[in-house]
Amino acid sequence: MLRLTRPQARSLRGCFCSQKRFHHHHKNVMAIRREDINVWERRAPLAPRHVKEITAAGHKVLVQPSNRRAIHERYYEKAGAIIQEDISEASLIIGVKRPPEEKVYPHKTYAFFSHTIKAQEANMGLLDDILKKEVRLIDYEKMVDANGFRIVAFGQWAGVAGMINILHGLGLRFLALGHHTPFMHIGMAHNYRNVSQAIQAVRDCGYEISLGLMPKSIGPLTFVFTGTGNVSKGAQEIINELPCEFVEPHELKEVSLSGDMTKVYATVLSRHHHLVRKSDGVYDPLEYEHHPELYTSHFRVSVAPYTTCLINGIYWDPQTPRLLRRHDAQRLLKPIRPSAAATEGSPELPHKLLAICDISADTGGSIEFMTECTTIEKPFCMYDADQHIDHDRYKTHTSTHMSDYIDHDSVEGTGILMCSIDNLPAQLPIEATEYFGDRLFPYIWEMLSSDARRPLDEEDFSPQVKDAVITSNGGLTPKFEYIEKLREKREKEQILRKGGMKRVLLLGSGYVSGPVIEYLTRNTGIQVTVASVLLSQAEELAAKYPNTIPVMLDVTSQEGHMESLVKDHDLVISMLPYGYHPLVAKHCINKKVNLVTASYLSPAMKELQKSAEEAGITIVNEMGLDPGIDHMLAMECIDQAKADGATVEFYTSYCGGLPAPECSDNPLRYKFSWSPYGVLLNTISPAVFLKDGQVIEIPAGGALLESTIPMDFLPGFNLEGFPNRDSTKYAEPYGIQSAHTLIRGTLRFRGFSSAMSGFVKLGLINTEPCPMLHHTAAPVSWKALLCKQVGLPASVGDEAFQEAVFERIDKDNFRMEMLKWFGMLSEEAVPHADSILGAVAKHLEARLAFDKGERDMIIMRNDVGIRHSSGELETKHISLVVYGEQNGFSAMAKTVGYPAAIAASMVLNGEISTKGLVVPMTKDIYGPVLTKLKEEGLQFTTKSTLYE
């Protein structure tokens, strides 16, 4: 066993040539991050003795503290490392497993097992985040030698732990089938202080086997090892501690029937033992390397029938043949007819194949029916081939009592014991860390010099490191560009799997997407694909609703992917910011796919009218709340007035998304139910409206907030309002050119505009790029930022600082208290962002988010002045008040999401068939939509005031 514990990589002394080659005169900083994805992950990529050599060479090593790490941090500290939480100083950050997305620093070089090279769905969110943050990712799995063999891996220790575990599992399985065996002496690998203790337990088991203490009715035990790499070798090291005879695969049948019961038998399966060309039954190793799809495996008939336990350690690729499929398992599990010697107290095994330890842990791979990995805490399951299901039947604890390991009510019966833990070396963390570190250490020197901002070609990397770089400078490296194609292929297959469905592509997974999906998927004939730059959000939505598929899409950088997705759907709903709609619309026009949006019909969208008509598609715009419901309520009233022979003299419409009054306890009297950036940006937008026959223009830059007026139509709410965008452009589409007043505005609780004016006066609603707030810049305090905004040095005293700010905000006490409430006169750090506005939006969003159980509210008020033919003036007061649900959809989500979903359903059903650009201002659209909105609980009230 010395081979396992002695370093097998180049000796540390032999690495100084690499050190000299890549060591620069300046000190580099690297960090070992804390493992925080799995509770069992106690390993580290380097041991203290590796760190000691790095620090001795003049480099700085940071180690994040972790009580879970098996090697105590005092040993790293003794080796010269600095134990600290903040590792942002490091240019190279290494770990074992992937970090959470939110803990990835931009523009750094990272090294870890990313599990992304097969486009593993669970890790695509991480890959997207890494690309967005322009991280250089080195994946240990792709560090290989000239022959393609991995050189930095835990493989041997995966084999060791996996073999110990399956011997333990066999003891449990035999007991369930009526046999006490020496395997009961063996526990799970992590139950031992070190591997030496585990080996002693295996030796004790082997001693009893050699004494002939195995039940005779079990028959000879045979173990089959697939592969000849480190995984298989590690597992074989453990089996060799038993009285074991290795035989050739073709001898397995004979020993399985008449072998010696004082030993076990094993065979190692190489490719030539079971792979043959489909056409002629011959194996050509060179051809197989390049065309594995031409081959099949006869393992299922030549080896599997004579195997007690399969230890699978081969890498699987979708092009390569499988070892076992579901129907193979069904055949192998057919009950054996008991012999005359079998008795109740000495039963025979129900079938030969009892267990599979799939150390490769490739779900759906070489063992087709291994579709989900087991875990260290639940290491085993039983595979029922007839039902094609896994039954959890064993629970492992640290207890040594037999009753703690077995659920007696469910372990009996036929089936294959499966063990497929994907982090086996974590069970032996100290030995695994030493072993892995020896293999990684020679390459650390060149990784230390990596600068993620430099082009990859300018780095002096060895082939072993360069070929393992998956991402660099914001893109996949050429060798790994296939990952994107794999993702798209898998998505396409998933989207098109169900036939006869109407497919809707929903772009965006934000505040309002839930009601869209909920409404559409009530119809079992509709399938929704949620595409989002935040895959986790899309996955969360997909988990809640039937026929919903999550995909990752960044429309800013993945136009080809977006085009492919559009093509596979019947309709697209875009909940993206309005600036992206023209891009989406062009793809819809190109692929002749209908589109629905909730945003304003912008000039860029209007330019697409002819193209949409020629493509024969419908593009529904302004189908939300404002715009959307406001249009429909307006047109219902205006059209009826015209039908009655009346004319419209004035029209005002105000709408606002607000917190419910009991949730408005902050200086802004506001909380965010949609894009914070958009809310803040609107406060400095220009506005145009018609008042008593005069066109009034409000310039951009904040003057809008000075135009705020009290709104007393619902006096209990204490509202204020200010104009929104260009109201005059609606005179023509509404058909009310005769109106002397036309105002569309925004509602807020009173005090919002005054408080927001404070931000404007301090220059905080500023969209210009701000280098001092960039992600790579040093942290900046709010005090320092405001000093810059008011022209003071950052070192100024607090009194002078606050006096200057007070002067800038017109000596308004309310505004000053507001700034203090938000912590914006303090040393608190400003969030990193591209602009000051971006930073303010992040800061306010964190403080003005709705807490659990809080409600938002929508208030809309349309006042329409109608002059009847009799001369009477009637004012129609149309109101909508909607509250969010405490544990359901927000009011904003319902009032934006449901109109869009209803319109999408109407387009799919042919109820909206007009080609080109459509807005909901005609009765054939607003009539059915308003009726359906009432069915969703949105109740509109109308009152009238008559004037002689």
Helix axes 195-210, 230-239, angle to 10 degrees: 50
Could you tell me if 256 and 340 are in contact, meaning their C-beta atoms sit under 8 angstroms apart? no
Please give the structure tokens belonging to residue 827.
């040393």
Q: What is the DSSP letter of 324?
A: B
Q: What is the DSSP letter of 882?
A: E
Residues 6+ apart with CB under 8 A from 13: none
SS3 sequence of 98-155: CCCHHHCCCCCEEEECCCCCCCCHHHHHHHHHHHHCCCEEEEHHHCECCCCCECCCCH
Residues 6+ apart with CB under 8 A from 217: 179, 341, 342, 346, 347, 348, 349
Could you tell me if 670 and 845 are in contact, meaning their C-beta atoms sit under 8 angstroms apart? no
Residues 6+ apart with CB under 8 A from 636: 923, 926, 927, 930
* DSSP reduced 3-state for 839: helix
Q: Which of 175, 202, 170 is closest to 186 using CA atoms?
A: 202
Separation between Cα atoms, residue 198 and residue 204, nearest integer Å: 10
Catalytic residue (choose from 626, 630, 856, 863): 626
Output the DSSP codes for 349-365. Answer: PS-S--EEEETT--TTS
Separation between Cα atoms, residue 410 and residue 387, nearest integer Å: 16
β-pairing verdict for 571-574 and 502-507 = parallel
Separation between Cα atoms, residue 811 and residue 819, nearest integer Å: 13
Q: Which of 557, 558, 608, 560 is closest to 582 using CA atoms?
A: 608
In 211-270, where does DSSP find H-type helix?
230-239, 252-258
Please give the structure tokens belonging to residue 633.
């309520």
Q: What is the DSSP letter of 189?
A: G
Residues 6+ apart with CB under 8 A from 384: 390, 391, 414, 415
Percent of residues in the chain assigned helix, strand, coil, to nearest 5: 40, 20, 40
C-beta atoms surrounding 795 within 10 Å: 8
Could you tell me if 466 and 138 are in contact, meaning their C-beta atoms sit under 8 angstroms apart? no
Separation between Cα atoms, residue 176 and residue 165, nearest integer Å: 17
Residues 6+ apart with CB under 8 A from 869: 645, 646
Could you tell me if 183 and 202 are in contact, meaning their C-beta atoms sit under 8 angstroms apart? no
Catalytic, 390? Answer no
Residue recorded with tokens 């002045």: 865
Burial of 299 per CB tally in 10 Å (0-12, 13-18, 19+): buried
Return the active site residues.
Answer: 626
